[in-house]
Chains A and B, each alone.
Chain A
Amino acid sequence: DTGVSQNPRHKITKRGQNVTFRCDPISEHNRLYWYRQTLGQGPEFLTYFQNEAQLEKSRLLSDRFSAERPKGSFSTLEIQRTEQGDSAMYLCASSLMGPRANYGYTFGSGTRLTVV
C-alpha cells in the first residue's frame, strides 16, 4: 500500500466553476476524513466517513460542498460554484477504528485549489 493518494495535486479554476477532488485511502482503513487548510493555519475539519456512511459534516461545509464515499473505498469532494474564499489546501486522511484501532490519521499530500 502506498499510503493515502490525492488527485489532482494542484487545481486552478475560475470563479463559478465546479471542481472535484479524489482521495484513495489506505485500503484497510475504514475511516476517511476531509480537512481544509489555509496558509498559516491548522487543518480544519470538513467531514468524515466510516465505511460508506457520512457521519459528520462541519458547519464550514456549505451547501456548495458535497462529499461521497460510495463503496466505502475512495472518496470525492465536490465544490460547486467556486468562490475565491475556497482557495486552500484540501487534505484527505484515513484511519482505522474498531478492535484493531490505532486512531492516528495518515494524511495524503493534499490538493491545492486556487480560484481566480
Chain B
Amino acid sequence: GENVEQHPSTLSVQEGDSAVIKCTYSDSASNYFPWYKQELGKGPQLIIDIRSNVGEKKDQRIAVTLNKTAKHFSLHITETQPEDSAVYFCAAMSSFQKLVFGTGTRLLVSP
C-alpha cells in the first residue's frame, strides 16, 4: 500500500521568511495530493491540493509542487506570519480510495 514520508518534523522560521515542507510517496498510482493544517484541538483543515496532471499550484502565499517522476511533492509558504504556526500534514490518495497521511511538520513562526 501507499507510504508517505514527510520532512522536516519541526521547522522554525522568522516572520516574513519562507517555509518549505517536503513529502515523498511510494505508490506510482497515486493521483491526488492535499495538504492540511491542524491547529491545537482542531481537526485538520485542507489548505491546498494538487492532482497528478498538474506540476504546480498557487493560492496567495501558498504553493504546492509535484514531481511525479521522483514521487515527491512540496509545500511552500512565503512571507510567513505567526498565524501560520501549526502542524502541517501532506497526504496521497491512490485510485480514488483513501488518503494516507505523512507524520506531520510542526511549523513555528517567530515574530
Q: Give A contacts to B, CB under 8 Å.
A: 4, 33, 35, 40-45, 48, 55-56, 91, 93, 97, 101, 103-110
A107 contacts B43, CB within 8 Å?
yes
Q: A109-B43, A110-B43 are in contact. Are A104 and B101 (CB under 8 A)?
A: no
Collect the chain A residues with CB atoms within 8 Å of residue B4's CB: 42
Q: Give B contacts to A, CB under 8 Å.
A: 4, 6, 32, 34, 36, 41-46, 49, 51, 89, 91, 93, 96-104
Which 7 pairs from chain A and chain B are nearest by CB? A107-B43, A42-B101, A104-B46, A109-B43, A43-B101, A103-B32, A107-B44
Instruction: Select from chain A the residue with minimum beta-carbon distance to B33.
Output: A103
B93 contacts A42, CB within 8 Å?
no
Instruction: Select from chain B the residue with minimum beta-carbon distance to A47.
Output: B98
B54: shortest Cβ distance to chain A, in Å?
13
Collect the chain A residues with CB atoms within 8 Å of residue B91's CB: 42
Question: CB < 8 Å: which of B6, B49, B102 contacts A103?
Answer: B49
A42 contacts B98, CB within 8 Å?
no
Collect the chain A residues with CB atoms within 8 Å of residue B51's CB: 103
A40: shortest Cβ distance to chain B, in Å?
7
Collect the chain A residues with CB atoms within 8 Å of residue B102's CB: 42
Question: CB < 8 Å: which of A4, A42, A56, A110 contacts B104?
Answer: A42
B89 contacts A42, CB within 8 Å?
yes
A108 contacts B43, CB within 8 Å?
yes
B104 contacts A41, CB within 8 Å?
yes
A48 contacts B98, CB within 8 Å?
yes
B99 contacts A45, CB within 8 Å?
yes
Question: How far apart are the CA atoms of A2 and B49 in the complex, in Å?
Answer: 22
A48: shortest Cβ distance to chain B, in Å?
6
Q: A104-B46, A104-B49, A107-B44 are in contact. Are A56 and B97 (CB under 8 A)?
A: yes
B89 contacts A43, CB within 8 Å?
yes
B25: shortest Cβ distance to chain A, in Å?
13
